[in-house]
């Protein structure tokens, strides 16, 4: 979090405005093993987890406070809780939990216009989140009426916005950013840019929103930020640099040189392993009369599975209508033939006429847990409840945990892979190598002709791709690469392309200006 405060303070404190943001508490998936769990409330199961977390975290934070000679001058109690507001006792509980563990610096809340009136806590400085000059009235009226002449701060000035799969690439014009930042400063407020530096949802770590519909975030969190996902300068950066330079009265040093980008030669996978062939290397599946959701699988020392995929298998002897609730997307197979998908909107699918012994399979993807919206308690992934064929519950499932961590791929030695056939059976893993003779540079991976899946570079999960966009390239940092041979594995669900391409320019999709 990058914060610029324009109030004068002693020179020795300049550059020490560091906020410890505890708003997005790390909501571990194992919390949802409790069927009655109520996240972000004073529900006993949740507060016990928060207390344990705070016991460990605050022992590290307390010595770093400004009054102890450290850099931390403020601690944020929660983040946009006013928009959630499920438990009026929750915010006072978190405030007390911090104070009881030795936090003595300024406490803050942070809310947007929809939750500002409900996110305030007695004795805690309220700050606001906004994107346009139209919302500045919150600074000059509401906060003044509530807090008088206390300092005003825009905790999150949104310099862009995030993208969801199937939507546009959201951008905010640089002139609009300069206009709003200037107005915030003129209003006598401190300001924090969210985001100053764009980021990446590497691995399976993207979030999602769920109000009327479930929408998962794309891999890129470039956010149309002041600095791009790869750290490159933007028109916003140049305009804001000139603006802050003009009011600081201090000559600014020249900005650092940009990191070079490299359009490496295209890579063609040479080896292949279908998911169905891979199953025999995963060990014995979990056997259960009924489906088990991802978080309650008896894996990882009893902590369940947090992310990735999960495969359910059972036997059927007739055709009919298959129905059930899937979080978040399930590809349905009869033996190894895909017959369609189940998701939030599609809860029924026709199973074609079959004869004799048949394996029904559902490959379910956890597309990311909701971190903003009304449904954060409803984020158990996989098959949720029974799966029905012609309204009769299916039984006797074999369940495979496909978390695709490094240890997952260590089971697939080179002797397990086959030469790539002309028509591969999907889903499948594709293996190739990228040869680099010089010092590795940042690049952007383009999967033209591929449909949906995940890419792994030297064992690191680069993130998801999906041809519905908007994102068309994946950012690949140079430090993830090495001189020599780099292993590249693609897990593709439905349609494999001919090659993987590399470009020096990102392509994040069709632009849509934020209004």
- How many Cα atoms are found within 13 Å in the side-chain-facing hemisphere of 475? 19
For 247, 289, 377, 378, the CA distances from 35, given in Å and listed in that order, are 55, 19, 10, 10
* Active-site residue, selected from the candidate residues 78, 80, 492, 493: 80
Asked if residues 453 and 464 have their Cβ atoms less than 8 Å apart, the reply is: yes
Structure token digits, residue 412 = 């697939």
Residues 314, 234: Cα–Cα separation, whole Å: 53
* Active-site residue, selected from the candidate residues 78, 105, 135, 156: 156
Packing angle, helices 44-61 and 90-100, rounded to 10: 30
Residue 500 DSSP one-character state: B
Tell me, yes or no, if 493 is annotated catalytic.
Answer: no
Asked if residues 462 and 455 have their Cβ atoms less than 8 Å apart, the reply is: yes
Chain-centroid distance of CA 388 in Å reads 32
For residue 503, the SS3 value is strand
- How many Cα atoms are found within 13 Å in the side-chain-facing hemisphere of 271? 14
Residue 141 DSSP one-character state: I
Tell me, yes or no, if 80 is annotated catalytic.
Answer: yes
Query: Which residues in 220-253 are b (16+ Cβ under 10 Å) and which e?
Result: bbbbbbbbbbbeeebebbebbeeebeeeeeeeee
Asked if residues 304 and 296 have their Cβ atoms less than 8 Å apart, the reply is: yes
Q: Which helix (H) or strand (E) holds 433?
A: strand 428-436
Report which of 208, 129, 195, 193 is spatially closest to residue 373, judged by C-alpha positions: 208
Active site positions, annotated: 80, 156
């Amino acid at each position: 979090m990058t914060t610029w405060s324009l109030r004068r303070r002693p020179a020795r404190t300049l550059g020490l405005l560091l906020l410890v943001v505890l708003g997005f508490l790390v909501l571990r998936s194992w919390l949802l093993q409790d069927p009655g769990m109520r996240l972000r409330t004073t529900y006993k199961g949740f507060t016990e987890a928060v207390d344990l977390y705070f016991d460990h975290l605050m022992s590290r934070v307390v010595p770093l406070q400004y009054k102890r000679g450290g850099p931390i001058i403020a601690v944020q109690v929660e983040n946009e809780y006013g928009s959630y507001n499920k438990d009026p006792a929750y915010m006072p509980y978190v405030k007390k939990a911090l104070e009881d563990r030795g936090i003595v610096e300024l406490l803050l809340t942070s809310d947007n216009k929809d939750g500002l009136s409900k996110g305030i806590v007695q004795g805690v400085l309220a700050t606001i989140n906004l994107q346009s000059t139209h919302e500045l009235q919150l600074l000059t009226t509401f906060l003044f009426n509530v807090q008088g002449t206390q300092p005003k701060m825009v905790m999150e000035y949104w310099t862009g916005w995030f993208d969801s799969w199937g939507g546009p690439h959201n951008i905010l014009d640089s002139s609009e950013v300069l206009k709003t930042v200037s107005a915030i400063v003129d209003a006598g407020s401190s300001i924090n840019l969210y985001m100053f530096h764009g980021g990446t949802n590497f691995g399976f770590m993207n979030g999602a929103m769920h109000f009327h519909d479930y929408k998962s975030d794309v891999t890129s969190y470039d956010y149309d930020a002041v600095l791009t996902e790869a750290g490159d300068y933007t028109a916003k950066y140049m305009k804001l640099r000139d603006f802050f330079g003009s009011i600081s009265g201090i000559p600014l040093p020249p900005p650092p040189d940009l990191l070079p980008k490299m359009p490496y030669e295209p890579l063609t996978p040479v080896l292949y392993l279908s998911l169905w062939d891979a199953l025999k290397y995963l060990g014995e599946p979990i056997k259960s009369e009924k489906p088990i959701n991802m978080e309650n699988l008896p894996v990882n020392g009893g902590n369940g599975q947090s992310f990735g995929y999960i495969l359910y298998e059972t036997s059927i002897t007739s055709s009919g209508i298959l129905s059930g609730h899937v979080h978040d997307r399930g590809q349905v197979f009869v033996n190894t033939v895909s017959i369609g998908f189940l998701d939030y909107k599609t809860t029924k699918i026709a199973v074609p006429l079959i004869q004799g012994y048949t394996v029904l399979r559902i490959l379910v993807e956890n597309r990311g847990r909701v971190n903003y919206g009304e449904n954060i308690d409803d984020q158990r992934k996989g098959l949720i409840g029974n799966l029905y064929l012609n309204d009769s519950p299916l039984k006797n499932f074999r369940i495979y945990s496909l978390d695709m961590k490094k240890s997952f791929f260590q089971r697939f030695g080179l002797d397990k892979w086959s030469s790539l056939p002309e028509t591969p059976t999907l889903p499948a893993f594709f293996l190739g190598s990228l040869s680099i003779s010089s010092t590795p540079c940042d690049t952007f991976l383009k999967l033209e002709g591929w449909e949906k899946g995940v890419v792994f570079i030297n064992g690191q999960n680069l993130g998801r791709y999906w041809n519905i966009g908007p994102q068309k390239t994946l950012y690949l940092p140079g430090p993830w690469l090495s001189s020599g041979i780099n292993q590249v594995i693609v897990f593709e669900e439905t349609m494999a392309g001919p090659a993987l391409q590399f470009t020096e320019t990102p392509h994040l999709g069709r632009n849509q200006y934020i209004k």
